[in-house]
Chain A
Amino acid sequence: MTSQFTRRQWAAQFAALPLLAQQPQTLPATVVEDTDQARARTKLLSAELAAFSIPMHTEPAFQFKA
């Protein structure tokens, strides 16, 4: 299975693993736990985006049209 990963996917996985390891594997029970987990998810997404390299000239999809 793992051999099907691209280099990019590997990079994203490695960047995300330490953060993923911090995530509890059971459902949070309190508001504080939920808040912590929501923040951890934001960091996880951030790490995944950071690991994805794009050309410097890429403009954001503002004024988005399909």
Chain B
Amino acid sequence: MAKSPGNDVFFMPLTELNQRLHSKEFSAVELTKAYCDRLEKLGPAYNALAHSLRKSALSHAKDVDREIKRGRLRGPLQGVPCGVKDLLDVAVAPCTWGAKPFATQKPDEDATVIKKLKNAGAILTGKLSMVELAGGGGYRYAAASLQGPGLNPWDKSRWSGGSSSGPGSAVAAGLVGFAIGSETWGSILTPSAFCGVTGLRPTYGYVSRNGAMALSWTMDKIGPMARSAADCGHILQAISGGDVDDPGSAGKSFFYGPQYQKPISEMRFGFAPSDLDRVADEESRKVFASALEVLRSLGAKMVETELPDFPYNAVASTIIGAEGSSVFEPLIADGRIDQLADQRQIAGLKAGLEIPAKDYLKAMRIRSLVQQSLAKLFSDVDVLISPSRFSVASGLNEPLDRSSLTSLKTHQRGLRDLGAAGNLAGLPALSLPCGFAGGLPLGMQLVSRPWTENSILLIGTEFQNRTDWHKRKPAID
């Protein structure tokens, strides 16, 4: 006899949700209804919900219940409610890209990722908010979004991070079973770290971008944000795969199998002690130091390392600036760009059109060397480890560009530019919740060579077997 799901379902790993559905503890319709109620009630309170998909979700949940009854099982995502960043096309649903000029946009077809989620039996309950146009022009305030600033479930006076702000808040507050975000430079890892959820940026080319808003053709990636490393593995398996409709697709599929990886005891973890010097406060430094100790206890050899010497941030900024401004050139030309919420973002996108070809080409040439140098670095280590972000979530009204106005580089390189370097080389990264400072979550990132997601997922799962940071829940209003 099925019963209504209790509140504990909102923070369950998806494998457990799926198992309870199969054991008929509750039906997919009941679970979906409970999640839709919660998303519609609390989503707006965190500015996390762009558009509810209740009607289509309940219809799909009925189909899933019929399938489960007939014994047609589709894997661990079957019957699990999820949300997607509002830059993925869902047929005839609004797709705002977080930006006023696209407030009424309604695509005709599902993005490839949406088709794959539906095929895996996942129930799509909502489109989740994001920073306008994924923040490609460089924004100053968290409020740079059509849905308002992403509010952090751990402290609503703090930002949830960007640009996948809705997915970060929604997963942390238990409004969805998991979410799909996207990253060009930091947009999965940052909200994952700020909101205390586990986020996986897949290798460039693993997941099709067909039907997703383009910001930077050579750097955009789509990936999961969820409750654990294991959940991320299951989700990536469902959404990866070749796609002729995405010129960046590598034509590869991911199969989640951490048990077939090299044992951690035979791995070499690269880390930079100087990274901790970049962390501003003592409490956060202790958190990262403790997380490193847990990773050390897994038995791998810890190797001090640093990134090769490249102007990573200038290269990434130039490529994203040039490609993003080209994507949005029509918007700039007809003046609709001025409808964006953030003045700095407007100016940044306009200025991007003035990046000379010589600079874009130089950046792309340096990028080739970055890729080669990192490949060499990975002949010495299996995984690079560094804080996902060096501080906790910023305040809602704090200018996000203030530090870049005043700071000169005065620290050792270490792995501080791992975010830019990893994105330039298309490397996979996993952000793991690793503790709290001042009541706000912090995250540690693991980065490995292309197509080795199973290695970082194995390490992430072992880390999460020894810690409970990923199981902590914020006090929900």
Across the interface, do A38 and B309 meet the contact criterion of CB distance under 8 Å?
Answer: no
Contact pattern, A 29-66, Cβ under 8 Å of B = 1, otherwise 0: 00100110111011001101111101000111110111
Bound CA span A24–B402, Å: 11
Q: How many residues of A contact B (CB 8 A)?
A: 38
Across the interface, do B311 and A38 meet the contact criterion of CB distance under 8 Å?
Answer: no
The contact of B426 among A28, A31, A50, A66, by CB within 8 Å, is A66
Contact pattern, B 402-420, Cβ under 8 Å of A = 1, otherwise 0: 1001101111100000000
Inter-chain contact count A-B, CB under 8 Å? 119
Bound CA span A1–B363, Å: 28
Given A13-B408, A23-B405, CB of A8 within 8 Å of CB of B309: yes
B227 — which chain A residues lie within 8 A by C-beta? none
B351 — which chain A residues lie within 8 A by C-beta? 35, 38-39, 41-42
Bound CA span A20–B408, Å: 9
- B104: shortest Cβ distance to chain A, in Å? 26
Given A45-B359, A49-B366, A54-B366, CB of A35 within 8 Å of CB of B347: yes
B371 — which chain A residues lie within 8 A by C-beta? 61
Q: Which one of A1, A27, A42, A59 has the highest number of Cβ atoms from chain B below 10 Å of its Cβ?
A: A42
Across the interface, do B311 and A27 meet the contact criterion of CB distance under 8 Å?
Answer: no
Q: 4 tightest CB-CB pairs across the interface, nearest first?
A: A66-B426, A60-B364, A38-B351, A38-B347
Q: Which residues of A contact B (CB under 8 A)?
A: 1-2, 4, 6, 8-9, 12-13, 20, 23-25, 27-28, 31, 34-35, 37-39, 41-42, 45-46, 48-52, 54, 58-62, 64-66
Mind listing 13 A-B residue pairs with CB under 8 Å?
A13-B408, A27-B140, A27-B401, A35-B347, A41-B138, A41-B351, A46-B355, A54-B365, A58-B365, A59-B365, A61-B364, A65-B250, A66-B425
